[in-house]
A and B are shown apart, each in its own frame.
Chain A
Amino acid sequence: MARIVGGVTTSHIPAIGNAMSRHLEGTPYWKRFFDGYEPVKQWLAKVDPDVAVVIYNDHGLNFFLNQVPTFALGCADRYENADEGWGLQTLASFDGDAQFSWHVAESMIDQDFDLATCQEMLVDHGFIVPMALMWRHLPEWPVKAIPFAVNTVQHPLTSARRCYAAGKALRKAIESYPEDLKVIIFGTGGMSHQLQGERAGLINVDYDLQCMESVINDPDWLASQSNSEIIEKAGTEGIEIIMWLVMRGALHANVDVVHKHYHAPISNTGAGVLVLENSHD
């Protein structure tokens, strides 16, 4: 049977992608941020996952405002990256696993999560930046990747609570897949940032650290907050933090912390990294 070997959280902002393509990792501005990913990469090499489910939001590459699915799952054998107008280097395509995806879709829909299924899906920085952060040192992507898109762009958005529940359904879906696959879940986005309006530049370090502790030990704390409350504290784009709860919901009630790292500012953003493994329930 497939099993979940752990969960990782990471920011996915384009500035990180640009820093990687320009090889700025060792520069004073970026060094501490990137050094904090080395333990993640070592852990990933050790657990050696077969599949990565990447929870992210599309920022206007695959989905325009004509059609905005609240939850959308890639169900293809291949995903392409493309120009999204942000000047980011386009990365190599990603192998998917359509059979696994369709199983997840069917299982989640059976559990009343009516997600949209996508057989062609361009993946944007929200997806490619985490993949590059983990595995750009390898000649090719070492996992099959499954894009799991959550609308965090056009309100009404789903809630933190619903994201947490989606994660629990995702766990059931994965653990009922008959093949022996090791699956990693990436919860991406956040942390606090607001790109727009007179309140642009908001970074709320204390709230970010509360969110990280909550995701580890008390997911209900974050899950019980309304989107307006989260926006007020973390900024309009900081609402992406709700996607971390999809990852968290897919893990056991109790988790062990392998690694936790936080840095601010990265561009306009507070950046948090967690590596979590299941404790025994």
Chain B
Amino acid sequence: MSVEMLERTDVAAPKPQVQDKLTIFAWSGELDKIWPTLILATTGAAMGKETTIFFTFWGLFPLVKNDVRITGENWMQKMLSMMNRGGDEHLKLTKMNFIGAGPAMMGHLAREHHVASPHELMEIAKDLGVHLVPCQMTMDLMGLKKEDLIDGLEEPAGATKALADAQGGMTLFI
């Protein structure tokens, strides 16, 4: 074996194109977790970051259209949607829910203080080009179909796509 050292030619090293990225894994579907998820995502996009929210497990239910009541094909999936209504206007609180009184009061306070609702923030996120990606596996598991979910989402994807997109960026799991 021989090694021959060649004279180095001055090639301008390509600048590493590290894209400023934010990926949020939205695992929780409650009002008080989806809310900061959407606040952080819209802010990330406003800061010029390529922003993605990957919605998985309970995080998928806020993406259900507000007028869709029962989803799923078998009784277990239907029961799940009965017990856990989807839609960004039907979210529950992780604490102090009081059968919906908590979220209603939270909504009242938010309007009083001009805080954008999750529904408004979802629209702003779409407008700012935030990638909203539903998890295909959870959709299958919970019996959610594309037509059950709101418009403006990207194609459902898996964990590999989510991790590949997140690579080299900032990641949050909420």
Are these two chains actual partners, yes or no? Answer: no
